[in-house]
Chains A and B, each alone.
Chain A
Amino acid sequence: MRTVLRLIARGVGDMALHPLAHTLGLAAVTLAVFLGGVFLMALTTVDAEFRVSRGETVWQVYWRPGTPLEQVRPQWDEVRRMPWLTRAETWTPDDALAALAKRLGGADALPSGGVNPLPPTALLVFSPREVDAGRWARETQSFLKNLPGVERVTSTPLKDEFGRMWRGVSAFVVWPSVAFLTLVLALVSASSVRLTLEHRRDEIEILKLVGARNWYIRLPLLVGGAMLGLVGGGAALALLHLVYRFVGPFFAVPPLLMELHFPPPEQAVLLVAVPVLMGLTGGWMAVRDRN
């Protein structure tokens, strides 16, 4: 056990023996993973943008006739603060009656006197950008319906063919792209780690000459390779997070108005796991059987 721990420590310590080779190897792994991360971030952002609904939907809210305007007006103010609202028009019963009379040919067209039978109403136009448009519609319906005094809520369906189409095909686009990227990342990382370990070929040969068994030679190389992958992957992820933090706001202003999305956790883990795995593979492959 002591030997194993010593060999693991040596694997870490040996990185300092060839600083230039390790720095270059680390830079190569970091850059490859970073570029992979940028691609994933772009893919995630595009996917999220395509997944949100982009259509317009119109809602009409009718209060019960005779509902006091003192009760309705604060609700209109509240409704105007709802997310994704692009336009709101409200009518008091009198406004509604005037508008109706105007449409029918003037004030004389309607009988004067008596009680105004029209209710307070609101016409709300939304352009929601939600991933789950159905859920948003249900929640909006519920919110409006539960406003005190509201009698009826009607809405037009959301027209969002492109969003629906993308949601249908995204599974066939995103994961194959991630798989392809993983393959590219694996090849680049493995190549970088192997080139770095190439500097230690003499050491491997000498260890074999003095009777070291393969596991004894391999363990520090495995640890060194894994460390290279871990540090490279971790640094790339940190770099990617900086880009996300500091570049993201530039996407959120017109004309782009896009929200930059950091790759989801499973993809972020992949960005570190792939170089670590390739580091281990590179370390394993560095020791050949015969000689």
Chain B
Amino acid sequence: MLDIRHLSHNYGSHWALKDCSFTLEKGGFLFLSGPSGAGKTTLLRLLHGALPLQRGQAQVAGFDLARLRSRDLPALRRHVSVVFQDFRILPARTAFANIALPLEVRGLDARASGRRVRAVARALGLEHRLDTPAGELSGGEQQRVAVARAIVVNPQVLLADEPTGNLDPDLSLRLMDVFMQFNAYGTTVVLATHNPELIRRNPAARLIHLDDGMITHANWPGARLSCRADACDLLEGP
């Protein structure tokens, strides 16, 4: 499902990601941990095509990101959903409209779309807030709307960048259970977090620790630690 080889990415002279390689099978659950600025967000942005690939190769849900043209991005994003720490929801639209957005984009009829939205909203405890404009929801509710929007389409891959960053510990663990539940149905999940509680909640999950753009620790043989020599070569310039 994910096959990442020697992925590097720079912003000007700063290398945010250096020689990262790993594979993750379909239905896998991967935690990306590491301090702020370690490269977690850059890796996630690369995986859903928000950043163009500079070095290395990446296969995501059957898409070769190195060969991906801009007109193919919508197709990739119909298989890969993303949840951001800052929600990225439409505050003027209702929670229902926000969650239904990806279904609407896919041309699903209103009745089927409504059924799926309500089912997901129920799972996330949002069913009584569906008619409220998203901008009037609490931070936790907005985050759950963002998660609901990501999972309502049953994506092949779910990428989540610090999805519990704005939630209280109890709600964070509940949300983690939702991710695990969807993962159990076959969705591949990549979750970036520096919350150890979440990682402990799913001990069977894969874990990659990033530091200064390099993979410095992985708990399974499918990940290759960044080669320090290769990473150092990058510093000489692209």
List A residues at the B interface (Cβ < 8 Å). 3, 17-18, 202-203, 205-214, 216, 289-291
Contacts and interface: CB of A to CB of B under 8 A. Distances in A.
A207 B70 contact: no
B229 interface: no
Interface residues of B, number: 25
Interface stretch (B11-19, B71-79, B201-209): B71-79
Contacts of A289: 70
Given A211-B77, A211-B78, A291-B50, A206 B88 contact: yes
Interface in B216-237: none
Considering the complex of A and B, which 6 residue pairs feature the smallest CB-CB distances, nearest first?
Answer: A211-B77, A210-B102, A211-B78, A17-B92, A212-B105, A211-B74
Interface of B: 48, 50, 52, 70-71, 73-78, 81-82, 88-90, 92-93, 101-102, 105-107, 149, 153
Contacts of A206: 88-90, 101
Contacts of A208: 73-74, 77
A208 B73 CA distance: 8
B88 A207 contact: no
B96 to A, nearest CB: 15
A216 B88 contact: no
B52 A216 contact: no
A157 to B, nearest CB: 72
Q: Which of A206, A208, A216, A291 has most chain B Cβ within 10 Å?
A: A206
A212 B107 contact: no
B88 A202 contact: yes
B88 A205 contact: yes
A216 B105 CA distance: 8
B70 A211 contact: no
B82 A212 contact: no
Contact of B105 (A18, A207, A290): A207
Contacts of A216: 105
Contacts of A209: 48, 77, 82, 88
